[in-house]
Amino acid sequence: MRDPRIDEILERIDEVDSKGKPIRVADMAREVNDYLVEIEKLRSEVDIATRQVVYLSGREQAMRQLSVSVAQTAGANALAPRMDEIEYDFEYQRERLETVSANLKARQSMVKKTQQLISARISSVQKILDAYSNSSPEELDAGAGATSGATEGTTVKRKKIIRRRRVVRRRR
């Protein structure tokens, strides 16, 4: 169920103060909107990866069953292939099975990590909505640069960008 505060805050995304600068609630609405777009993309990725996991697990199971049934009936027929051909085929099948198993584990890990990222984004949206609910109308209508003590801890922390100067050495 979608939080009704989301629609309420998104309605105010274009609000500006008397100088034409976005007010604080408009910045909050932009952040919420960005998070919602990101969450939708991540959910789409999880949906695709989940389908791949289902396919790969079915394929892995089928390959395991096939290798067991081939191993049981390999010598039953007088026209069966020579032993070295069977060993080569088993080696090839085992490599394919290992590849499918590795891909399956990687996809399962990706799904789990993406779901954790979605949870983190939802938590961030929740913090912004809580700050929105707990702020007074005066605080919300303030300029975007002004921060209040009530919502200071809820702002999203951005990674500090460190620029390094490239050192060029001359050949002597």
Which of the two residues, 42 and 87, has the higher pLDDT score?
42
Question: Where does residue 12 rank: exposed (0-12), middle (13-18), buried (19+ CB within 10 A)?
Answer: middle
pLDDT value, residue 73: 56
* pLDDT, mean of residues 2-22: 84
Confidence class for position 146, pLDDT limits 50, 70, 90: very low
Per-domain residue ranges for the chain? Answer: 4-154
Q: How confident is the model over 120-145, as a mean pLDDT? A: 84
pLDDT value at residue 147: 45
Asked if pLDDT for residue 145 goes beyond 90, the answer is no
Nearest Cα neighbor of 150 from 135, 160, 161, 137 is 135
Which residues touch 118 (CB under 8 Å, ≥6 apart)? 39, 42, 43, 46
Mean per-residue pLDDT over the chain, rounded: 79
pLDDT band (50, 70, 90) for residue 32? very high
pLDDT score at 162 = 61
Whether pTM exceeds 0.85: no
Average pLDDT for residues 10-16, to the nearest whole number? Answer: 85
Quick one: how far is CA 125 from the chain centroid? 16
Q: What is the pLDDT of residues 56-92, one digit of tens each?
A: 999 888 888 876 665 555 555 555 555 555 566 777 7
C-alpha 41/C-alpha 38 separation (Å) is: 5
